[in-house]
A = this chain, B = another copy of it.
């Protein structure tokens, strides 16, 4: 039996991470949904950086760069973290530098682990099928909002924990995992309505991003599993599955 646990946000990562070398990072609204979508639609590589300054430096070196803060595209960048912007044909084969309020911070926090993969509701079933095959202990890390708990990442983390636990090959010890699974099960039939009261939904509604929210809450419209390799996110395909399990 392997263990799977949920850590709600980067602020608590230090309390949970010691037992795990495989971390799944989530930022459902919208960074990791955008990353999964990008890989699905042929983006070759995403370089997650923690700060806008790093993104600017790499942009000045000629790289395509995307930056989001507080839900909006940062001045001086053409791309943010809307999944739709990564579906465009001209994005195929591109390398993109990406910094976001919460998601890229969480990815960078986990980067010393043997394996870091990117999750979302969009790639839920494909990701869980792969996770179950690994026979390793798994930490699911929500990006939260500025180190605080958020509902949408918790729902997605609960969905991943639930699917893995249902395989019969995992156990969970933490109350955070029990709560995430419970919140997922209670919300799965109507996540959009369930999240009406959530703080980030309110934030994005003000910015007219309801279409993005609906997309991000749609399970299984992708099969891509992004994985961190030498500081870049690339698509994990069947050829690389073996080498991913260090």
Could you say which residues of chain B place their CB within 8 Å of the CB of A16?
A: 148
Complex Cα distance, B12 from A147, in Å, reads 8
A179 partner, pick from B178, B179, B200, beta carbons under 8 A:
B179
Complex Cα distance, B145 from A226, in Å, reads 33
Could you say which residues of chain B place their CB within 8 Å of the CB of A199?
A: 173-175, 178
Could you say which residues of chain B place their CB within 8 Å of the CB of A99?
A: none
Bitwise, A78-103 to B at CB < 8 A (1) or not (0) is: 00000000000000000000000000
Could you say which residues of chain B place their CB within 8 Å of the CB of A15?
A: 11, 146-148
Could you say which residues of chain B place their CB within 8 Å of the CB of A8?
A: 149
A33 in contact (CB, < 8 A): no
A198 touches B183 (CB 8 A): no
Could you say which residues of chain B place their CB within 8 Å of the CB of A175?
A: 145, 148-151, 154, 198-200
A182 partner, pick from B12, B183, B200, beta carbons under 8 A:
B183
Given contacts A11-B11, A12-B147, A147-B12, contact A186 B182 (CB under 8 A): yes
List A129-156 residues whose CB lies under 8 Å from chain B: 145-151, 154
Number of copies: 2
A12 partner, pick from B12, B176, B178, beta carbons under 8 A:
B12
Could you say which residues of chain B place their CB within 8 Å of the CB of A173?
A: 199
Nearest-Cβ distance from residue A95 to partner chain B, whole angstroms: 34
Could you say which residues of chain B place their CB within 8 Å of the CB of A200?
A: 175
Could you say which residues of chain B place their CB within 8 Å of the CB of A176?
A: 148-149
Q: Which B-chain residue is minimally distant from A6 (CB atoms)?
A: B149
Complex Cα distance, B241 from A161, in Å, reads 46
Complex Cα distance, B17 from A197, in Å, reads 22
B178 touches A197 (CB 8 A): yes
Given contacts A154-B179, A179-B183, A186-B182, contact A12 B148 (CB under 8 A): yes
Q: Which residues of A contact B (CB under 8 A)?
A: 8, 11-12, 15-16, 145-151, 154, 173-176, 178-179, 182-183, 186, 197-200
4 closest Cβ pairs, A-B complex: A151-B175, A149-B176, A150-B175, A178-B197
Q: List 13 A-B contacts (CB under 8 A).
A: A11-B15, A12-B148, A15-B147, A15-B148, A145-B175, A148-B175, A149-B174, A154-B179, A175-B199, A178-B197, A178-B198, A182-B183, A186-B186
